[in-house]
Amino acid sequence: MVRDLRARITGRVIEDVEIYWDRTVGYPSPDRLVSEIQGRPIRGITRRGKFALFDMDEGATFAVHRGMTGSLLLRNRGEADDRFVRARLGLDADVELRLDDARKFGRLYWRKRGETWVPPWEKLGPEPLSDEFQSETFAHRLSKRKAAIKTVLLNQQIVAGLGNIYADESLFLAGIHPTRMAGTLLPAEIERLRTSVQSVLSKAIGGRGTTFSTYRDIDGEPGSNQHALMVFQRQPGPCDRCGGRITRIVVGGRGTHFCIDCQR
């Protein structure tokens, strides 16, 4: 998503902004966010975990988190309506960026340089596809944790960017049972998990995302990675690796999918 945005709207000016659901703005207030970003050019777009970060002038950042069901759509101005638009940024060149988000968990943020408020993207763990995601630091973060490894993988402070689908898929690829206590993983298992996280994410990005239900790219098109999933929503199987039974359980309140025969 960020690569597409970067290619298409870097340099665009945010001309007008509308917030249709006030709680879509996580910080500061809807009024302040609107008045601050109006008229400013987008200098660059980067990503940290699940946050898209828009670099604005004077070191300021406009950030978007899509939540569970949010899509960031780039449309021509006034083009066919999307069903659940919570915010709209009108840009120059007659385009607009829409946050289309049925469940209203998506959030927008505005952060100026030097502010005391610490934005959520600055509290994240290492980027899983960067070389700051090392086996040793990963092992250190897992040690002493008594929670299920599945739950720990969803903790954005341990490693950034994994959600429910990719946590399950990574554990499957690593052959690790989701309810294993994180602190009991052996060094070889931790290294296997680390590389599994990286290949699962790389493959998913290569497939332009996983459209299990609502994910869409900025043109509203689905990804293709849903066809490559090994365990997520594939109960009762059979498992592609061993022919075993894929099971769904609940771990830390989240649906969790794994092969009962080849994940230990």
Partner DNA sequence: TAAATCCTGTCA
Partner DNA sequence: TGACAGGATTTA
For DNA, the binding residues (CB under 7 A) are 23, 49-50, 65, 67-69, 84, 102-105, 120, 123, 145-148, 151, 154, 156, 163-165, 209-216, 223, 248, 251-255
For residue 225, the minimal CB distance to DNA (Å) is: 7
Nearer to DNA, 76 or 213 (CB): 213
For residue 53, the minimal CB distance to DNA (Å) is: 14
CB 152 within 8 A of CB 158: yes
What span, in angstroms and rounded, lies between the C-alpha atoms of 61 and 29?
15
For residue 184, the minimal CB distance to DNA (Å) is: 11
For residue 106, the minimal CB distance to DNA (Å) is: 9
> Residue 127 has what DSSP assignment?
-
DSSP of 144-201? T--SBHHHHHH-TTTSSS--HHHHHHHHHHHT--TTSBGGG--HHHHHHHHHHHHHHH
Nearer to DNA, 45 or 91 (CB): 45
Nearer to DNA, 56 or 165 (CB): 165
Amino acid at 248: R
For residue 256, the minimal CB distance to DNA (Å) is: 8
CB 175 within 8 A of CB 208: no
For residue 41, the minimal CB distance to DNA (Å) is: 28
What span, in angstroms and rounded, lies between the C-alpha atoms of 34 and 19?
8
Nearer to DNA, 12 or 88 (CB): 88
State the CB neighbour count (10 A cutoff) for residue 97. Answer: 23
For residue 229, the minimal CB distance to DNA (Å) is: 11
> Residue 13 has what DSSP assignment?
B
Nearer to DNA, 145 or 241 (CB): 145
Nearer to DNA, 78 or 253 (CB): 253
What span, in angstroms and rounded, lies between the C-alpha atoms of 200 and 120?
24
Question: Any residues with CB less than 8 A from the CB of 177 and at least 6 apart, and which?
Answer: 171, 258, 263, 264
Nearer to DNA, 107 or 192 (CB): 107
